[in-house]
Amino acid sequence: MNKQLFGRMPDGTPVELFSVNAGKIEAQFTAFGAGIVSLLAPDRNGTRDDIALGYPDLNGYLQNHGSKAPFFFGSSIGRYANRIAHARFSLDGKQYTLFKNNGENSLHGGPGGFHNVLWDAEPEENGVTFRYQSKDGEEGFPGNLKTMVRYTLTREELKIEYEASSDKATVLNLTNHTYFNLAGAGRGTILAHRLKLRASRFTPVDTGLIPTGELRVVAGTPMDFRQSMEIGARINANDEQLQLGHGYDHNFVLDDGSTNLKPAAELHDASSGRFLEIWTTEPAIQFYSGNFLDGSARGKNGAVYSKHSGLCLETQHFPDSPNHPEFPSTVLRPGETFRSATVLKFGVR
């Protein structure tokens, strides 16, 4: 573990970059957004490359996260990952109004969500723990919420652990928003990557990308990734869901919905040989194919991130669950402790 200055907040507060080297894999993290800045992984020839999209310094994150359409590169997402319809929900008979930052909806906790705040950092031998206290009413959510995100890098695995508690009943959905390109960040698109999802159903969306409430089978549709499939093979198919999402931007319901740590996704890039396995305790995973990357973001080493230059695999509970009582509950009550874990396993083949 070592650290260096990554930049300064507008008020002059220094923000550090934490680097952890586990041999084959090296990762960098920042307290702004409790985010992953880079992931260095070897290809089949042993050449390491950065496979996570992001910015070279803090200024890139500050500017983008302050914009109307942030990309959330590598950030921890909360209080509520994904979308909440009409930026409102009811809990125990009381209605709460959130900030609208995605049309009529709230996305990823609102403009002042966890991606856009400075966390407290506690460096450790092989990782770093970030803590943040979200005040009652922040972005419209109830309860004083204490949240922890811990990154631990060992050998060829990166473990992300989440823990949270609240003094009032609230809703919570935490994830990480890293964009992966296993060929190397800034090296073309992810359309030739092959993806496998352990999901026989997904939640179809309406024009606002809000779940309709249906759990639809993937069989016979372009959403079927039960067998490894090239991402670009069907992304332009004449399919209503792909048209609504401008590509893949959908929540997949894992066949194993338990809280056990289980495999959820496998991603492989034949050009480099790199593969990534994702294990999680969550019941679902959002597959987003980088549809709204538009070339406006200039990342590390001057890379231009255009459409489909990275993809996200966000382990999570379902979008808009507070407005869908039939979905797995995201309610966190006083006296309870929310815990979740996701493991990224890297390798070559």
Pick among 3.50.50.60, 1.10.10.10, 3.60.130.10, 2.70.98.10: CATH of 2-348 = 2.70.98.10
Contact by Cβ (8 Å): 324, 318: yes
Residue 315 has pLDDT above 90, yes or no: yes
Q: What is the pLDDT of residue 222?
A: 98
**Per-residue confidence band for 203, with pLDDT thresholds at 50, 70 and 90:** very high
Find, among 321, 156, 134, 307, the residue nearest to 232 by Cα. 307
Q: In sequence order, what are the residues at sequence separation of 6 or more whose Cβ sits closer than 8 angstroms to the Cβ of residue 99?
A: 87, 106, 110, 111, 112, 139, 140
Catalytic residue status for 246: no
Rounded-to-integer distance, Cα 26 and Cα 50, Å? 9
Find, among 28, 60, 241, the residue nearest to 153 by Cα. 28
Residue 254 has pLDDT above 90, yes or no: yes
Q: In sequence order, what are the residues at sequence separation of 6 or more whose Cβ sits closer than 8 angstroms to the Cβ of residue 245?
A: 205, 209, 291
Q: Residues 283-295: what's their mean pLDDT?
A: 97
| String of DSSP letters for 166-214 | ESS-EE-B-EE-PPB-TT-TTSS-STT-EEEE--SEEE-B-TTS-B-S-
Query: Hey, which residues does 88 pair with through a beta bridge?
Result: 97
Give pLDDT tens digits for 99-153. Answer: 999 999 999 999 999 999 999 999 998 999 999 999 999 999 999 999 999 999 9
Question: Which of 177, 193, 268, 308 is an active site residue?
Answer: 177
Residue 68 has pLDDT above 90, yes or no: no
Helices in 51-163 by DSSP H: which ranges?
A: 58-65
Give pLDDT tens digits for 324-334. Answer: 999 999 999 99
Per the structure block, which two tokens stand in for 85? Answer: 């319809």
Residues in the chain: 349
Q: What is the pLDDT of residue 1?
A: 87
What does pTM read for this prediction? 0.97
Q: How far is CA 211 from the centre of its chain?
A: 18
Rounded-to-integer distance, Cα 76 and Cα 134, Å? 14
Per the structure block, which two tokens stand in for 101? Answer: 């930052």
Q: Residues 9-27: what's their mean pLDDT?
A: 97
Give pLDDT tens digits for 157-172. Answer: 999 999 999 999 999 9
**Per-residue confidence band for 86, with pLDDT thresholds at 50, 70 and 90:** very high
Q: What phi and psi, each to the nearest 5 degrees, are found at residue 43?
A: -90, -170
| String of DSSP letters for 223-275 | T--SS-EEGGGSTTSS-HHHHHHTS-EEEEE-S--SSS-EEEEEEE-TTT-EE
Q: What is the pLDDT of residue 155?
A: 87
Catalytic residue status for 314: yes
Residue 91 has pLDDT above 90, yes or no: yes
Find, among 130, 85, 120, the residue nearest to 104 by Cα. 85
Domain boundaries, the chain: 2-348
Question: Which of 16, 314, 317, 324 is an active site residue?
Answer: 314
Q: What phi and psi, each to the nearest 5 degrees, are found at residue 294?
A: -130, 10
Residue 12 has pLDDT above 90, yes or no: yes
**Per-residue confidence band for 260, with pLDDT thresholds at 50, 70 and 90:** very high
Rounded-to-integer distance, Cα 175 and Cα 80, Å? 9
Q: In sequence order, what are the residues at sequence separation of 6 or more whose Cβ sits closer than 8 angstroms to the Cβ of residue 50?
A: 38, 39, 40, 184, 185, 300
Contact by Cβ (8 Å): 113, 102: no
